[in-house]
């Protein structure tokens, strides 16, 4: 699986996007999303530092008027490499705490989104933002309410899927992914379809750990 990770130097805001492949079209599509996000807040992107995956005339042209700086072969941008390493460490910690032997794309992207959410939720060690977190500045969200009960990533649960005028079940067996909002909204992966769905009501179910031999 391939992810495109970005971080701003002044705000320390992190974005993580899943890439189906490394084609120039997909990379440009994600870069345009990132540019649109900051442009909506009146922030100006003046310089983009990237590795050789971005060394393409089409990508450089699509990111104008920002100036693209491509590092040399076998080199990396230190700030983004440190960010990627932190994301991997958080993800590896969560990954190995779960009893599942395999992880789907839906589960992995949910894990990445959760990591992005919680890293951005705390103030960065820069003087520009002060006591405010990247989420406060970019997303306009308040600080996380640590007194609110949450369902953790990877938890097995029955999640409410909606009411319909028939005899179909109103809940589905699912695995908890990342939060969708600060009002108890949560994303789940259905064990029946393997697709992600949104729910506000869920009931965690205790399950036995699998023994790995």
Q: Using one digit for the tens of pLDDT, what is the confidence trace for 118-148? A: 999 888 777 667 788 988 889 888 888 888 8
For residue 26, tell me if it sits in a domain.
Answer: yes
CB under 8 A, 24+ apart: contacts of 38-43 = 38/8, 38/138, 41/138, 43/8, 43/11
Q: Using an 8 Å Cβ cutoff, are 70 and 63 in contact? A: no
Is residue 110 domain-shared with residue 193, that is, in the same domain? no
Is residue 103 domain-shared with residue 12, that is, in the same domain? yes
Is residue 6 domain-shared with residue 42, that is, in the same domain? yes
Is residue 191 domain-shared with residue 125, that is, in the same domain? no
Is residue 96 domain-shared with residue 149, that is, in the same domain? no
CATH of the domain at 122: 3.30.420.10
Is residue 98 domain-shared with residue 49, that is, in the same domain? yes
Q: In total, how many domains does the chain have?
A: 2
Percentage of residues in the chain having pLDDT higher than 90: 28
Is residue 105 domain-shared with residue 158, that is, in the same domain? no
The C-alpha atoms of residue 80 and residue 9 are separated, in whole angstroms, by 10
Look at residue 109 and tell me whether its pLDDT is greater than 90: yes
For residue 184, tell me if it sits in a domain.
Answer: yes
Give the pLDDT confidence of 59-77 residue by residue, as tens digits.
889 888 889 988 887 778 8
**Mean pLDDT score, 161-165:** 74
The C-alpha atoms of residue 50 and residue 54 are separated, in whole angstroms, by 6
Q: What is the pLDDT of residue 206?
A: 65
Is residue 29 domain-shared with residue 6, that is, in the same domain? yes
Domain edge (last residue) among 83, 104, 135? 135
Look at residue 113 and tell me whether its pLDDT is greater than 90: yes
Domain edge (last residue) among 135, 160, 178? 135
Is residue 187 domain-shared with residue 85, that is, in the same domain? no
Domain edge (last residue) among 77, 102, 135? 135
Look at residue 207 and tell me whether its pLDDT is greater than 60: no
Bridge partners, residue 176, by sequence = 188
Identify the domain containing residue 67 by its residue range. 2-135
Length of the chain: 213
């Amino acid at each position: 699986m391939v992810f495109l990770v970005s971080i701003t130097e002044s705000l320390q805001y992190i974005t993580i996007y899943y890439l189906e492949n490394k084609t120039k079209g997909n990379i440009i599509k994600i870069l345009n999303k990132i540019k649109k996000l900051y442009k909506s807040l009146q922030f100006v992107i003046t310089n983009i530092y990237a590795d050789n995956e971005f060394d393409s005339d089409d990508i450089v042209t699509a990111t104008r008027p920002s100036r693209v700086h491509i590092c040399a072969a076998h080199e990396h941008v230190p700030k983004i490499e440190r960010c990627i390493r932190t994301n991997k460490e958080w993800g590896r910690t969560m990954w190995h705490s779960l009893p599942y032997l395999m992880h789907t794309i839906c589960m992995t992207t949910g894990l990445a989104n959760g990591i992005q959410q919680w890293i951005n939720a705390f103030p960065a060690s820069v003087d520009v933002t002060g006591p405010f977190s990247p989420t406060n500045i970019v997303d306009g969200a308040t600080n996380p309410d640590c007194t609110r009960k949450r369902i953790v990533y990877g938890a097995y649960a029955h999640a409410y899927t909606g009411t319909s005028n028939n005899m179909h079940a109103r809940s589905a067996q699912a695995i908890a992914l990342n939060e969708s909002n600060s009002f108890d909204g949560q994303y789940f992966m259905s064990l029946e379809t393997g697709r992600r769905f949104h729910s506000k009501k869920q009931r965690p179910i205790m399950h036995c750990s699998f023994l790995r031999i």
